[in-house]
Each structure stands twice: as C-alpha cells, then as structure tokens.
Amino acid sequence: MPLNRLSLAWMWVFCSACAEAREYTYSDAHLHYVDFFQETAGMPKLLKAMADNRIEHVMISGIPVAKKWHEDEPKRPRYYAGDDADAYWYSATDTLVAAAVNSLPAPQRQYFHPFLSGFNPNDKNSAAHIQRMLDLNPGLWQGIGEVFTRHDDLTALTSGDTPRANNEAMTRIYHLAAENDLPVMVHSNITSKRERNPLYLPEIEEPLRNHPHTRFIWAHAGTSAEIHRHQTRLDFLLPTLTRMLEAYPNLFIDLSWSLLTPYLLDEQGKPRPEWLALVERFPERFMIGSDVVGRFNKLGNEIHGFDPFLDALPEDVARKVARDNFLAILPRHAAK
C-alpha cells in the first residue's frame, strides 16, 4: 500500500533525528585494572571492551589495598565488604599495572595512562616510594591515584590508622606531584553514612587551598553508594561543588557512577537542569569514568550510561566531558 504524505513526513522527521544523534569517543578517567584480590580479566578483554564502545583513552590504575581471606572464613569473599576480614596496603599493584601496559605494542600504549596507587597514604615514606617508582619506569606514570582516604566501610576494614587527604604524608605527595606535573585522584568522602552535612569536607578542601599548583581529581565528588544507601541524596552537594569550583581552579571532578544517579539523572533517567548548568559553567572541569574493578564486561554500560546527560549538554561541552578534559589534565609529556 502506498505511503501517504503524513507517513512520509514522519519518516523524514525520524530519519533527521537519527542523522543528528551524537556519537562520542570517550576517555575513561577512572578504571582499575585489578580487583581487591589483585586479579584481573586481562588486557585482551580490556582492549576488546574499549574497541567495542569507542573508548579511546583509559586512566588505568591498580587497587591500593588487598582484601585478606581470613583463616576463619571457609569461603573466599568476593568483595572487600564480603566479610569483616582486614584489607592491607599492597604496593605490588603498581607492578601489575606496569607489566600490563608495558606488554603492549607502542602504538597501543599511547592510549593507556597509568596512575600510581600502591602506597600507604598514612606513611610519610610514601613520597620517596613514589619517586622510586617514577625513576624505575621513566615516562610511564602519568598520575597518582586513586588514593583511598575516607572510603566508607573500607576505611574501617583497612589495617592501620584512618587515612586523611590532609595529613602530612599526603602533603609530601602533593608536593611531589606538582614537581613531576602529575594529577592526583583522591577518594575522600564528603561525609559519613549518617551525617547530613559536609562533615569531612575540610580534609579535601585544605589540600586544594594549600597546593594550588597540584591538579586534584576528586573521585565521585566525595559521594559513594554506601552514603546513598543511607541518605539517598546529599542536598548540600551541588552548592558545595559550585563554591569549590569557583574557589579552586586546580579542582576537577570525576563523574563516575555514584554521581550518575541520583545527581546527574533523575528517577526517570532525565538530566537534572541544575547539574547541566553546573557543567556548562565549568566545561573543562568534569570527566567521566567507569570505576570498573578488574572486570571489563560492564565497561561499555557504565560509560554509555552518561550519554543521556551528555546529549543534553551543548555538543562542544559534551565532547570535552566525554573525552578531552581527562587528556587535558595529564602531564605535558603525555599530552604531547
């Protein structure tokens, strides 16, 4: 049966919309090559997941702690929160990352941006350890992190003192990062599971103020799934971020999964206008990350989950957030 004019008009509108649909190339600004047992699905699976999902560049790091399988536990836990056994600082995680990246042909290596994470943030010797790692692999390491400071129940499970982003050991690391032109990704929760105020904000704000020459990536902007499990959404987060981005040009925000909902998208999966306005106001200060841990089968889902938010931004801003802002924060030698 021949199509009438109305049908043809709708087909034209539909095809025009399809033609205008955006397709992004991504940088994953937050990826862990190993899990909390220092195991990984391996580089071939990571490369396939990147190729399948147009993820061109990856921040690749280890996990700075290893979860203990305690003598009294008959079954091995699957995650750090699986039981009450300790986690402990594990420096060999960086060796695993370095070996994986160095095993690649040179043309592939340029798309991987390794960050050092295997050190104890409470130990004032850690800056010297980081410098040794930089010297062992000149030009390999392009950042520091993800540094675990305030981190939900993991903080309580990790052996030793509670790490803080503003302690003396980290102060030495921030100085070293500035000297070596390295960004630092810090996980520092903005509050606890029950306090409805920015209880721990001074711990991240003090380094931002005292180290203006160090570039900070704030992982998840201080949020976490565990905080949301108890508090749903932090009403103070948006005004706090707005003030901090105004005050500290060295602050960058990792928009990984715990920020996607309930902040960037509402309950219906639609972008929240107030968050779109914030990103448009600071278009070079936000980046996206998957935060996958040692397994890469969900990498594409995590990254493409940001597409509705990106699509609601001006196209030039969206492409910065999707890919370019992460690359811009890397050391000058890496960008070149």
CATH of the domain at 92: 3.20.20.140
Across residues 75-95, what is the average pLDDT? Answer: 88
At a CB cut-off of 8 Å and minimum separation 6, what does 2 contact? none
Residue 321 falls inside a structural domain: yes
> Please, what's the largest Cα pairwise distance for the chain?
79
pLDDT at 20: 61
The domain of 166 spans 24-335
Residue 12 falls inside a structural domain: no
**Percentage of residues of the chain with pLDDT beyond 70:** 93
pLDDT at 77: 86
Banded model confidence at residue 335, pLDDT cuts 50, 70, 90? low
Residue 7 falls inside a structural domain: no
pLDDT at 16: 37
Across residues 286-311, what is the average pLDDT? Answer: 97
Across residues 86-113, what is the average pLDDT? Answer: 96
Residue 92 falls inside a structural domain: yes
Q: Residues, the chain, total? A: 336
pLDDT at 173: 98
pLDDT greater than 80 at residue 336: no
Q: How far apart are CA 270 and CA 264, in angstroms?
A: 8
Average pLDDT taken over every residue of the chain: 92
Give the orientation angle of helix 168-179 with respect to helix 201-210, to 10 degrees.
Answer: 40
pLDDT tens sequence across 156-175: 888 888 899 999 999 999 99
Strands, E assignment, the chain:
26-32, 55-61, 65-67, 87-89, 112-116, 143-148, 184-187, 216-219, 251-254, 286-287
Please tell me which of 16-25, 137-146, 218-227 the model is most confident about, judged by mean pLDDT.
137-146
Candidates 181, 265, 191, 277; CA nearest to 234 is 191
Candidates 153, 171, 163, 164; CA nearest to 89 is 163
Report the predicted TM-score, pTM, of the whole model to 2 decimal places.
0.92
Residue 258 falls inside a structural domain: yes
Lowest mean pLDDT among 76-80, 194-198, 259-263, 303-307: 76-80
Residue 14 falls inside a structural domain: no
Residue 16 falls inside a structural domain: no
Give the orientation angle of helix 237-247 with respect to helix 273-281, to 10 degrees.
Answer: 10
Q: How far apart are CA 255 and CA 221, in angstroms?
A: 7
What's CA 6's distance to the chain center, in Å? Answer: 48
pLDDT at 8: 38
- Helix, strand, coil % (nearest 5) of the chain? 45, 15, 40
Q: Based on the structure, what is the number of domains in the chain? A: 1
pLDDT greater than 70 at residue 1: no
Cα separations (Å) of 68 from 32, 86, 95, 159, 183?
Answer: 19, 6, 19, 10, 30
